[in-house]
Amino acid sequence: MTGAPDPAITPRTFSSGARKGRRRRLPGTLVHVVVLLFIVGWVVPILALFLSSIRTQADTASSGWWMALVRPDLSLQNYALALDQLNIAGSLGTSLAIAIPTTVLTVLLSVIGAYALVRMRFAGRTALSLLLVSLLVTPPQITLVPLLRLYNQVGLSGSIPGIWLYQVGFTLPFGVFLLRGFIASIPKDLYESANLDGASELRTFWSIVLPLSRPIMASLGIMAFLWSWNDLLIPLLFLGGSGVSPPITVNLAGLVAQTTQGQGPLMAATFLSVIVPLMLIISMQRYFVRGILGGAVKG
């Protein structure tokens, strides 16, 4: 950025009291109007989704969601239908079975890679860093043709571990990239001290690097979870035709095409699919912000 300290190390949160009163002259009415427009424009679609999901089938078919505010006639019927007939519970389960291990493995392997890249000196270190940076922008589409074939050959297609493998491998360059700045900021003395205290490399990693990197690991964890949970393309391609329920994104995409159940259950299913990431981002906004800023600065 503009010569500022690496945001990965010094996160700026938006409620920070340090900036109180700074640049806050009395804004004009126009400013308030535009900001309110943003707020309305960004919250209304989510509100519409929620309200549509708790209205009755008949209402949804005949009037807009806003009528729920005028004439509330609410029911959880859509949720019952979604869970019962659209296999939403199974889909949420599959999504969890994909996203949780993907998150853990992405974070773990990223810390390992970043630690080796930052802490150890070896020939080709700079080249490797540059390779990672250039891989940051690889479109996933470029990998599909060979990987589909490879997955079929080794029997990974249709299996959940196959999805872990893909998502972890695809996110690793970002993960290593996000973590390396932070890990580089851990004073070298600590490693040396641990070494003199008799700690092996692995022990130093476990007892010093992992605990100290917890905040940035949380940032990466959030990003990895969101990407995995929200991914449509990869499970759509690699999980087709297997016995497991499709993950929630694949299920939703299928439901849009066939609207036999009506809009209501689809809205309920969609709301169920967004509630997990929304809760996550609200409760861990600080870490999410750090992840965005730390990772986006250069990539």
Partner 1 sequence: MTDTLTFVPLMIVLGAIGVPAAVFAALGAGERALTLFSGGAGRRARPWVWLFLPLILVILILIYPVIVTIFTSFQDARAENWIGWQNYAWAFSGQMLDIVGNNILWLVAFPLITLVLALASATLFDKVRYEPLAMTIVILPTAISFTAGSVIWTQMYSFQPSGSPQIGTLNAIRALFGADPLPWLIQPVVNNFALIFVAVWLQLGIATLILSSAIKNVGSEMLEAARLDGAGEWLIFRAMILPNILPSVLVVLTTMIIAALKVFDIVYVMTNGNFGTDVIANRLYYELFAANNLGHASAIAVILLFTALPVALINIFQFRSEARS
Partner 2 sequence: MTGVSIRKAEKSYGEIAVIHGVSVEIEEGEFVVLVGPSGCGKSTLLRMIAGLEEISGGEIAIGERVVNDVEAKHRDIAMVFQSYALYPHMTVRDNMAFSLKLKGMDKAERETRIGRAADILGLEPLLGRYPRQLSGGQRQRVAMGRAIVRDPQVFLFDEPLSNLDAKLRVEMRSEIKQLQHRLKTTTIYVTHDQVEAMTMADKIVVMRAGRVEQCDTPLGLYDNPANTFVAAFIGSPSMNFVEGKVEGDAVVAEDGIRLPLPAGQGAALAGQRVTYGFRPEHMELAPKGGIPCEIELIEPTGSETMVSLRMGQAAVAGVFRERIAGPEGSTLGIRPDAARIHLFDPRTGQRLA
Q: Which residues form the interface with partner 2 (CB under 8 A)?
A: 187, 189-190, 192-200, 203, 207-208, 211-212
What residue 56 binds from partner 2, partner 1, none (CB within 5 to 8 A, per partner kind)? none
What residue 197 binds from partner 1, partner 2, none (CB within 5 to 8 A, per partner kind)? partner 2
What residue 266 binds from partner 1, partner 2, none (CB within 5 to 8 A, per partner kind)? partner 1
Nearest distance from C-beta of residue 207 to partner 2, angstroms: 7
What residue 199 binds from partner 1, partner 2, none (CB within 5 to 8 A, per partner kind)? partner 2
**Between 85 and 193, CB nearer to partner 2:** 193
Which amino acid, 62? S
Nearest distance from C-beta of residue 81 to partner 1, angstroms: 16
**Between 77 and 87, CB nearer to partner 1:** 87
Other Cβ atoms less than 10 A from the Cβ of 156: the count is 18
**Between 189 and 257, CB nearer to partner 1:** 257
Q: Which two tokens stand for residue 275?
A: 């509630």
**Between 71 and 122, CB nearer to partner 1:** 122
Longest Cα–Cα distance of the chain, Å, equals 75
